Amino acid sequence: MHNQTCFFHTEYTSYLPLSCIYFNSGRRPFQPLRARVYFLSAFHANIASVILCAVTVNALSVALDRRVMEGALLASSSGPCGWLSLSLYANGATPLLVGCNYVLSLLTIPVIHLLLCGKAPTPSMEDLKTAAVTALLPYLVGICGASKVQNSRMTSKLAALVLLYVDCCNLLREAEGALYVSDVFTALVLVASWLSTVAASSYLYVKCRILDINEAQLLQLVATPKSRFDWISSTCPREGLYLLPTVFLAPAQAFLLSSIFFDTDLSNLPV
């Protein structure tokens, strides 16, 4: 998921925190959900998010540079940021939701990029091995290990801060170039508006009586954040202004979700 660094090799600065987060999430007892939650979460993260980004881009198109608009659409089509969701609130239901979203993203990303870039990216075996070693394997070890979870939430949050720092360093390095203040400001407004729309729209399922409030909040936690998969850039290589929305995406989604889930209890979930 990460292959460049700011000061250190990302292999050494991101693999350990990732493994820590997924290991801690595996130590929590599994909590099943209604089937509709898995379906709607995957839909909201991989399809609705792209549609809402396109609507937001269209609404702000007068003030946006074309490259910023294209960069935002590409960012919205990326896969879910599972480590952020798990570090902010890792109950027994979150890991499976994250996994379902990730699997579906492997199907939707090629289709969306085929439409946007004319070529469909595919993950390499190395990418899949990295995901297995840093996410799946630690999660399975956590399941088989002790069930004590004292201090695991704080450890996961500290690991998430390290990952956030590495992501921001990488993205700022790749997006370097001549930037105008107006481009930076409009890109920030675009990302904040899009993420807020994706997060707020999850409550429509409550209004329509499809989900209850706890399920909608869990969907919001899992479906809102986006990660950056390096194998995607093979079809749409971008730099400069194209990457500007992605630069703001990492800290903006972390700030938004940490504000929402600072003191949230999602333990009362219907099976």
The count of structural domains within the chain is 1
Q: According to the model, what pLDDT value does residue 7 have?
A: 43
Is 4 contained in some domain?
no
Is 133 contained in some domain?
yes
Give the Cα separation of 39 and 173 in Å (integer): 37
Give the Cα separation of 72 and 91 in Å (integer): 31
- In which domain, by residue range, is 193 found? 14-261
Is 9 contained in some domain?
no
Q: What confidence tens digit (pLDDT) does each residue in 62-112 have?
A: 888 888 888 888 889 888 888 999 988 767 888 999 999 988 988 888 888
Q: What confidence tens digit (pLDDT) does each residue in 16-40 have?
A: 899 999 998 888 888 888 999 999 9
Q: According to the model, what pLDDT value does residue 208 have?
A: 92
pTM of the model: 0.83
The answer, yes or no, to whether residue 177 has pLDDT greater than 70, is: no
Is 6 contained in some domain?
no
Give the Cα separation of 168 and 80 in Å (integer): 17
> Could you give the C-alpha distances from 228 to 15, 64, 199, in angstroms and in order?
15, 22, 19
Is 3 contained in some domain?
no
Is 8 contained in some domain?
no
Phi first, then psi, for residue 48 (nearest 5°) are -60, -35
Chain CA centroid to CA 13, Å: 19
Is 116 contained in some domain?
yes
Contacts made by residues 176-180, CB under 8 angstroms, sequence distance 24+: 176/240, 177/239, 177/240, 177/241, 178/240, 179/240, 179/241, 179/244
Is 25 contained in some domain?
yes
CATH number where 78 lies: 1.20.1530.20
